[in-house]
Chains A and B, each alone.
Chain A
Amino acid sequence: MTTVLDRPVVTQRSAVELDGVGKAFGRGPDVVTALSGVDLRVRPGEFVVLLGASGCGKTTLLNLVAGLDEPSTGTVTVHSSRPAVMFQEPALLPWLDAGRNVELPLRLSGVGRADRRARAAELLDLVRLGGQARKRPHELSGGMRQRVALARALAATTAGTDEGGGLLLMDEPFAALDAITRDFLQGELRRIWAATGTAVLFVTHDVREAVRLGQRLVLLSSRPGTVVGEWNLVNVDDRESLTDEVTGRLREVISTHART
């Protein structure tokens, strides 16, 4: 954690690996299968987008990776440092200013006061909020709050050692923002991802957002969630037609639910 701007050496290991992961809630006749047979690998530093309609178990999957829940079947292996989670709402602590919100994960992992203050200032600079550290959440706009949340998540996932880089889990983080701010933040996320080299697992139901942001796009079906399609986006030139293609596939997947 000496500097954010160095990309960690990329190895062939994965940041996180899911093997045949299934998750069911409840028992007996009321059982709800949220996920079944999900295989997914995110390489260190890779930007993977999970796309799916409602009920595809996106949030369940992120909870499993974050260690908030245990899979019913299969295994989840996290090789990176502790994954950080960003939610749809910024979830900043309203009684702490922006700087101290970013410092919180560092404080929890026992980083000294001076170090964590310096690190928080560095991360706030990265999200273009340098000099706003003393502002409280209610004094910031929605987009600024979400950037503070991003800086906090980065602080959390890079809090321990810097080996292997971090892993950022993002649960529709821009869904609650207005269109202009969302567009701006998507660009910012790309820039910050490139600058920090953290792996990102980004969940969304917005095809356009998925195609714009990801290096790899994974399509999940709904009830139960399984992987039904995958696209490599790294060398795609025509994003418009790919957006149409993915949208078409998504509509197909959704239509299957009308028949059951």
Chain B
Amino acid sequence: MPAPEAIASPDTQDAASVGAGLDALDTPTVARRPLLRRVLATGVPPLVALALFIGVWQAVWASAIWPEYQLPAPLAVWDELVSTVADGSIWSITWTSVHRAVLGFAASVVIATPLGLLVAKVPVVRSAIGPLLAGMQSLPSVAWVPAAVLWFGLTDATIYFVVLLGAIPSIANGLVAGIDQVPPILPRVGQVMGAGSLDSARLILLPAALPGYLAGTKQGWAFSWRSLMAAEIIATSPQLGVGLGAYLKHGSDFNSIPGVIAAIFLILLVGVGIELLVFRPLERRVLRTRGLAPA
């Protein structure tokens, strides 16, 4: 075995320092904005927008263009909210809806994940139900409520059925899109290292598809929340208890516009809250570890 001939010796001596210099020069630098600045930049604009909105609302109400039973004063809605807090009903109403949505969403994730994997990886399944799955997303799940009421009656089954049909297509489609967008070089890396199909899926394909999958679950949450509200508004019955949808329906039935607006506000609050508290941080973390979002 011939020994590798020495490369020019200054080269060898300098290699370490040249390498260190190149590394120092080429390493991407990240500028971090101070925490206070970031909080101000993300927190202040939405608060200002909210204040403006309420101001305009108050002005329109004060001008009395619309009658009181159509456009309530901001203060009337506020009083309505305060009264639900005072008698404690806000907690049971919100909890009824949130726990339904969370349960339905969790079940959707459990069903949609293997479904998405099948569609993404088995060509026959993809051509058989892929278009259907994509089309299901454009079918408003409220369209299922009448059928579900006929099939299951005014029960929880009706509500969960509608929630599942709303959320599953989004989550499954998100996973399919995530897998389709994995750069082909990554599975090849696994292949040349001798990864079996199971290892390849677990260690390479699924983590690589995670951003798309997460986007799908986020949309799936939004869809399950919307579907739940549709189901709760249409399918009201004493056995079902009072959720946010039923609360809104009551407001409408009793011609109480402050109640209706308060219900809409609460529905929005829960939707935005879950998005901001659960999905936004999760998504940011996933994207940041991959260098896809600013630190």
Tell me, yes or no, whether A190 is within 8 Å of chain B by CB: yes
Interface 0/1 of B14-43, CB less than 8 Å to A: 011011101101111010000000000000
Q: Choose, from A34-42, A49-57, A88-96, A114-122, the stretch at the interface.
A: A88-96
Give min CB distance, B184 to chain A, whole Å. Answer: 10
| Interface residues of B, dominant DSSP | helix
Give min CB distance, A249 to chain B, whole Å. Answer: 23
Nearest B residue to A63 by beta-carbon distance?
B192
Tell me, yes or no, whether A191 is within 8 Å of chain B by CB: yes
CB <8 Å contact, B7 and A187: yes
Tell me, yes or no, whether A194 is within 8 Å of chain B by CB: yes
Tell me, yes or no, whether A2 is within 8 Å of chain B by CB: no
CB <8 Å contact, B192 and A143: no
Chain A residues whose CB sits within 8 angstroms of the CB of B199 once the complex forms: 108
CB <8 Å contact, A82 and B194: yes
CB <8 Å contact, B185 and A89: yes
- Enumerate the 10 nearest inter-chain pairs by beta-carbon distance, A residue then B residue, closest first: A138-B291, A141-B26, A10-B1, A94-B290, A85-B192, A194-B4, A105-B193, A91-B185, A234-B2, A91-B189
CB <8 Å contact, B7 and A104: no
**Could you give 9 example pairs across A and B, Cβ below 8 Å?**
A66-B192, A91-B186, A93-B207, A94-B291, A128-B16, A128-B23, A139-B27, A181-B22, A184-B22
Give min CB distance, B212 to chain A, whole Å. Answer: 13
Chain B residues whose CB sits within 8 angstroms of the CB of A137 once the complex forms: 291
Chain B residues whose CB sits within 8 angstroms of the CB of A144 once the complex forms: 23, 26-27
Question: Once the chains are docked, how many angstroms separate the CA of A254 from the CA of B189?
Answer: 32
Nearest A residue to B19 by beta-carbon distance?
A128
Nearest B residue to A135 by beta-carbon distance?
B27
Question: Once the chains are docked, how many angstroms separate the CA of A41 from the CA of B283?
Answer: 50
Give min CB distance, B132 to chain A, whole Å. Answer: 32
Chain A residues whose CB sits within 8 angstroms of the CB of B289 once the complex forms: 94-95, 136
Give min CB distance, B13 to chain A, whole Å. Answer: 11
Give min CB distance, B215 to chain A, whole Å. Answer: 16
Chain A residues whose CB sits within 8 angstroms of the CB of B26 once the complex forms: 141-144, 181
Give min CB distance, B276 to chain A, whole Å. Answer: 24
- From 45 to 92 in chain A, residues with beta carbon under 8 angstroms from any chain B beta carbon are 45-47, 66, 68, 82-85, 87, 89, 91
Chain A residues whose CB sits within 8 angstroms of the CB of B18 once the complex forms: 184
CB <8 Å contact, B185 and A87: yes
Chain B residues whose CB sits within 8 angstroms of the CB of A180 once the complex forms: 22
Nearest B residue to A132 by beta-carbon distance?
B23
Question: Once the chains are docked, how many angstroms separate the CA of A144 from the CA of B24?
Answer: 10
Tell me, yes or no, whether B5 is within 8 Å of chain A by CB: yes
Interface 0/1 of B146-187, CB less than 8 Å to A: 000000000000000000000000000000000000000110
